[in-house]
Amino acid sequence: MSYQVLARKWRPYRFNEIVGQDHVVRAMSNALDQQRLHHAYLFTGTRGVGKTTLARILAKCLNCEQGVTSEPCGECSACREIAEGRFVDLIEVDAASRTRVDDTRELLDNVQYAPTQGRYKVYLIDEVHMLSTHSFNALLKTLEEPPPHIKFLLATTDPQKLPVTVLSRCLQFNLKRVPEDRISGHLEKVLKAENVEFETAAIRHLAHAADGSLRDALSLLDQAIAFGNGVVKDDEIGQMLGSVSRQHLQKMLQAVAQGDAAEVMTLVDALAEMAPDYDQVLAGIITLLHDLALAQHIPDSLALRGVDVEAISEIARITTPEDIQLYYEIAVRARRDLPLIPDQRNGLEMALLRMLAFRPADGEAVKPQAAATPAVPQQKPQTTAPVPAPAAVEKPVVDASASAASAPRPVPANPAAASWDEILPHLGLTGMTKMFASHCTLQDVSDGVVLLALSQRHDSLKNDSVTAKLEKALSEYFNKPVKLKILLTEEDPDSPAAKEKRENEQRQLEAEAAIASDPVVEQLKENLGAEVVPGSIKPI
């Protein structure tokens, strides 16, 4: 037997199988149960939301041999023939291919005759907006006062093109786009019934790409199963759709939040190898920033939408709400201006560099708490003692600069003899200035001149504003005016940032080794065939 695509195999045959159109199903079911039947129904909505399917189910309800009902038996000859598309009294017309007035008149010539087999003769006209003006005029009178044995079911994706005279003669049902969570739930149901392995993130990716169309979602699922050789994985879905994975965008925004320009450009280089649509990349960044804002204030709303809150909690923790609002505005403007830029990659790069360069004046004092708990609204400092936070709410996380300002370490007795690692925490730097200074090393302090070495790889971090702020901080530290000089080197100096990176890598290796040698993990692998997901291990 030939293969039947999922969109046809899983087409609903009863009202209770319709997904995401509860308001239409309720109205039609009540009308059928109460025998309040209209002579003409109009179903409107975007592609793949169930217009033609609802019309066929309604035809089945009208002609079931058990009587007019909202729950047809599905076993009588009328129900079976309608489901198989061979019921003689269900006349399906594709208006896109029969636009001439002669076709409409030929169709209406048979309206006067009684149904051959069923209770009603049903005319299902799909894409009815494609009919010509003369065809609508020929249809009007019959549509208003058809014989009692005739029912008209019209379907269209563009109701604005229908004459008002036709709209006034029909009972109209507006089908809405199917929500992503309903599409995801239906796809999971289909995959379980088809015994296909899948990842939840991949299902969410497909549901988002379907853009509210359940038929499109099932068609994409068919393609994904073939692409993944019987397994639906998230990274393969990204390759199939030609879209950038959400994880890649999360890494990019995390690097922006940390002020790591070199890492941001590395991620852009990796992105360019995929030849992406940069408009869609910026759209993905805008969506992710929206989710980050919600994660800081209303994390429960993300869970209801199926978004993985844990995956973005780290970015939400280290980024202030002010920064996120600024990043969002920058991304929206960059997407708007993208058609004006000769090289669209440059548009993305400039948007990210703007995020690195510009920060709100008061946006770096207090960071929002992790997205796993409700966010505490940030307030300006008060002269009176603050009210203690409730026990159920965690205290906001304070970044390194705020901690250093509130409880500074003792200044060395001889500042001129101190190392750069000892000086840096006492300078009170924040944002890009702090990031720039952490990539430098101290070469010499003499005659009121401070000489710092910086790798050419991080030269993009240096600008007049950053060096001026650092020079001012050093003057305050040494209690005298100093002049700052920057020495660019080809080699990477052993800067505080490099040391911190080595420490983080060492901690990561130790964490992965601890998991690999854990007896519980080994037992899960041996007994249940479990696998450790690469990249999922994070040091505590």
Q: What are phi and psi of 208, to 5 degrees?
A: -70, -40
Mean predicted confidence (pLDDT) in 218-240: 85
Percent of the chain at pLDDT exceeding 70: 86
127 half-sphere exposure, CB direction, 13 A CA radius = 11
489-528 b/e (C-beta count within 10 Å ≥ 16 → b)? eeebbebbbeeeeeeeeeeeeeeeeeeeeeeeeeeeeeee
Mean predicted confidence (pLDDT) in 323-328: 91
Pairing of strands 40-44, 150-156: parallel
pLDDT reading at 479 higher than 80: yes
Share the mean pLDDT of the chain: 81
Query: Between 377 and 215, where is the model more confident?
Result: 215
Query: Between 386 and 348, where is the model more confident?
Result: 348
Distance from C-alpha of 142 to C-alpha of 147, rounded to nearest angstrom: 8
Find all residues with CB under 8 Å of 240, minimum gap 6, and list them. 223, 224, 227
Digit-coded pLDDT (tens) for 445-456 = 888 899 999 888
Q: Which of 431, 445, 534 is nearest to 483 (CA)?
A: 445
Q: Which amino acid is at 288?
A: L
3 state SS of 385: coil
* Cα dihedral: 533, 535, 536, 539 (round 10): 140
Q: Are the beta carbons of 292 and 319 closer than 8 angstroms?
A: yes
Digit-coded pLDDT (tens) for 481-510 = 889 998 888 887 788 888 888 888 888 888
pLDDT reading at 403 higher than 50: no
Q: What one-character DSSP code corresponds to residue 48?
A: T
Work out the pLDDT band at 145, boundaries 50, 70, 90: confident
Q: Lowest-confidence range among 248-262, 300-314, 325-339?
A: 300-314
pLDDT of residue 399: 45
Q: Which two tokens stand for residue 512?
A: 């992965």
pLDDT of residue 26: 92
pLDDT of residue 304: 53
324-363 b/e (C-beta count within 10 Å ≥ 16 → b)? bebbbebbbebbeebeeeeebeebbbebbbbbbeebeeeb
Q: Are the beta carbons of 120 and 154 closer than 8 angstroms?
A: no
